[in-house]
Chains A and B, each alone.
Chain A
């Protein structure tokens, strides 16, 4: 009996050791990595579990909902899209390990929509998709540094940068709140530093700025911030913060009956996520907000109609929110890029397709993208809206007025961009 136990023990240890070292038999450089006659493999890592997964863990389900629809309608040139999703728990070490698995073991053609500045940076540095020629499509971070095409030649951003957002906010303030006292709450790290740079370029003079360290936000901290804004008699208070800080601030302000004109950054202004923190969406009422895509409740919009229908069928009972819309939109743009990459897409031709035709891809967004041979910048602007009592952002005056700009010193302009009609059935043509 004892001998058997020991034997078992030895065999378990051996299996564990061998499991980590078994070499995969597939050749390292297949002709078209990730593309076979019948399928195209794409990979995604993002937080599926852990504290940071809230909201973001809906993105894979959203992307898969679109790809399933696409596959049911013939895929891309007969090839079905397989999306392999791995959990990185929002930890860079995990993101690197999982991305290595995706590229070296699963042999995906491209990475899709990875999330988080620190994670994308660690993957760029260690896995080095640029050196391997692996496309990193439509990353979910607004850090402006990823637009550096020399440093990240295979990376394509999708969200407008925090600098762009701050510049557009600045322009809106100039047009509508000239002479008013402006206050700013910002996160005291790169997220906030990008924002401060944008406000500086826009020439906004603040009566008061309050920085907070990431993780320090709470109702008690918010009460302290409010004292500062009150003391400075701020008429307009900008919350350029994450959802938890935004909801702490709005929730505490409602209790203290402090009601300046709120202006919310797009990162923290998602009503669904704010509701998840336990604060009623009503606190958002009348705040000014910014978005690149249509309101998720706007069922008159053809994309919202199609995407919300597909999502409801694929993931019944899960609310259709901003994360879902962005996930489906990225999947939709990926499908067009694959289609544009030719009958036999390769990594290189995929990137070349986005460089040459990406700016003309159909998308639910109401602002243009900036893709070209010299730029991998995605969406370039926002429309301005006000929140309804139920926390839905709707355009001021009923029509979408959009602004576009860049992450540098370029001017903020009212955009004349007309979104192209959705291709038939929302499939790439």
Chain B
């Protein structure tokens, strides 16, 4: 049963990958770059959905975990001259270790205390880079994945290369994640989230389960951080501001925090909003003050609308309605 479902999923991911490949060849360089950004946000937001939606823990500090991943990948590349694929593994492992440490503390905390702790992390951690020369201070260090291989042709742009790397990584991690979430671990997390006491009574070690969720979520966030810094070619503290952590949270809410399947919605929204705001501002011919504050306003309005009308996210809502209709039909 499981096997056939898994292979169906693999087929779906491969098909989606093929679609992305075709799309990447059709659109111009800006869209390819934005596509890479969407892929990065897909990974980052899914790490938060795993943590919040599945294991019931809150994090306002995922931006900081992304910074850990980004810096470890860049140091592995610059100092140890590792091949690019390995640097992504380094990012995942280093951030997962950081996440395990944080998760151990987090397992003892809940609600506002956990939010406060992770918030402090988001504020404090990136500026730590100023203390170590190897991390390059305020202006940061470079993270260069190199030019695309020559055999891909002269027209193959740097951004298309980024897109390929980011999209492929996103597809693989989404496939892995969706499998983990359907496994024993995923069920344990959901059980713990729904009712911790009941979960403990049924033999689940909820503390360990939470730490594991935090570790995995951090590892994925670290991967997103490494990919993000790949797209901008550098790593610096200012690339991981507090606002990034909040954006990810907004993306997770827009996607529907309790299911992975809507993650594209949040990611696309985060990338598209500044451009949509630009178009709207041009149409209405507004002042500079309005133009610069419009993106924030649009995100806020979308968040309010989501919470009011589709609190579990559009995809989950759609599924719930479909299920309800099916029940109605049967009866």
Which residues of chain A have a CB within 8 Å of any CB of chain B?
2, 5-6, 9, 13, 16-17, 19-24, 28, 48-50, 60-61, 85-87, 89-93, 96-98, 100-101, 104-105, 116-119, 121-122, 124-126, 128, 143, 188-191, 193, 213-215
Cβ of A122: which chain B residues have Cβ within 8 Å of it?
140, 232-234, 236, 239
A49: contacting residue among B26, B158, B292, CB under 8 A: B292
B38 near A20 with CB under 8 A, answer yes
Closest to B236 in A: A118
B238 near A118 with CB under 8 A, answer yes
Which residues of chain B have a CB within 8 Å of any CB of chain A?
23, 26-31, 33-35, 37-38, 127, 130-131, 136-140, 142, 144, 158, 228, 231-234, 236-239, 241, 243-244, 264-265, 268-269, 271-272, 274-276, 278, 288, 292-293, 295-296, 309-310, 314, 317-318, 321
Assembly CA distance A87 to B31 (angstroms): 19
Assembly CA distance A213 to B128 (angstroms): 9
A92 near B28 with CB under 8 A, answer no
B274 near A98 with CB under 8 A, answer yes
**Smallest CB separation, B281 vs chain A (Å):** 11
A6 near B232 with CB under 8 A, answer no
Assembly CA distance A124 to B158 (angstroms): 13
B288 near A23 with CB under 8 A, answer no
Among B136, B275, B309, max chain A CB count under 10 A is at B275
Assembly CA distance A125 to B296 (angstroms): 28
B274 near A118 with CB under 8 A, answer no
A125 near B28 with CB under 8 A, answer no
Given pairs A21-B27, A92-B239, A93-B239, 14 additional interface contacts (CB within 8 A): A13-B265, A20-B31, A21-B23, A61-B288, A92-B232, A96-B231, A104-B28, A118-B138, A118-B234, A121-B234, A126-B231, A188-B130, A190-B138, A213-B130
A189 near B288 with CB under 8 A, answer no
A20: contacting residue among B127, B139, B271, B278, CB under 8 A: B271
Closest to B267 in A: A20
Known: A49-B292, A50-B243, A92-B236. A213 touches B127 (CB 8 A): yes
Assembly CA distance A128 to B30 (angstroms): 13
A104 near B130 with CB under 8 A, answer no
Cβ of A124: which chain B residues have Cβ within 8 Å of it?
233
Cβ of B321: which chain A residues have Cβ within 8 Å of it?
2, 6
A20 near B272 with CB under 8 A, answer yes
Known: A101-B30, A104-B30. A125 touches B264 (CB 8 A): no
A93 near B30 with CB under 8 A, answer no
B28 near A190 with CB under 8 A, answer no
B232 near A128 with CB under 8 A, answer no
Assembly CA distance A126 to B234 (angstroms): 8
A125: contacting residue among B232, B241, B268, B274, CB under 8 A: B232
Cβ of B158: which chain A residues have Cβ within 8 Å of it?
128
Cβ of A13: which chain B residues have Cβ within 8 Å of it?
265, 314
Cβ of B243: which chain A residues have Cβ within 8 Å of it?
50, 89, 91
Among B38, B130, B244, B309, max chain A CB count under 10 A is at B130
Among B27, B34, B234, B275, max chain A CB count under 10 A is at B234
B138 near A100 with CB under 8 A, answer no
Cβ of A98: which chain B residues have Cβ within 8 Å of it?
274
**Smallest CB separation, B73 vs chain A (Å):** 15
Assembly CA distance A28 to B31 (angstroms): 13
Assembly CA distance A126 to B144 (angstroms): 9
Lowest 9 A-B CB distances belong to which pairs? A125-B233, A189-B137, A104-B30, A118-B236, A126-B233, A48-B292, A117-B139, A189-B138, A20-B272
Known: A16-B272, A19-B275. A117 touches B239 (CB 8 A): no
Cβ of B310: which chain A residues have Cβ within 8 Å of it?
9
A91 near B265 with CB under 8 A, answer no
Cβ of A118: which chain B residues have Cβ within 8 Å of it?
138-140, 234, 236-239
Closest to B228 in A: A93
Known: A61-B288, A104-B28. A19 touches B272 (CB 8 A): yes
Assembly CA distance A85 to B288 (angstroms): 9
Among A2, A118, A190, max chain B CB count under 10 A is at A118
Assembly CA distance A85 to B292 (angstroms): 10
Closest to A125 in B: B233
Known: A49-B293, A121-B234. A92 touches B140 (CB 8 A): yes
Closest to B233 in A: A125
Cβ of A19: which chain B residues have Cβ within 8 Å of it?
272, 275-276
Assembly CA distance A190 to B237 (angstroms): 13
**Smallest CB separation, A20 vs chain B (Å):** 4
Closest to B144 in A: A125
**Smallest CB separation, B158 vs chain A (Å):** 7
5 contacts across the A-B interface (CB closer than 8 A)? A9-B318, A20-B268, A28-B28, A49-B292, A122-B232
Closest to B40 in A: A93
Cβ of A193: which chain B residues have Cβ within 8 Å of it?
137
**Smallest CB separation, A373 vs chain B (Å):** 27
Closest to A103 in B: B30
Assembly CA distance A126 to B265 (angstroms): 26
A100 near B33 with CB under 8 A, answer yes
Cβ of B37: which chain A residues have Cβ within 8 Å of it?
97
A190 near B142 with CB under 8 A, answer no
Cβ of B244: which chain A residues have Cβ within 8 Å of it?
91, 93
B238 near A90 with CB under 8 A, answer yes
Assembly CA distance A190 to B232 (angstroms): 20
Cβ of B131: which chain A residues have Cβ within 8 Å of it?
188, 213
**Smallest CB separation, B320 vs chain A (Å):** 11
**Smallest CB separation, A339 vs chain B (Å):** 27
A24: contacting residue among B30, B265, B271, B309, CB under 8 A: B30
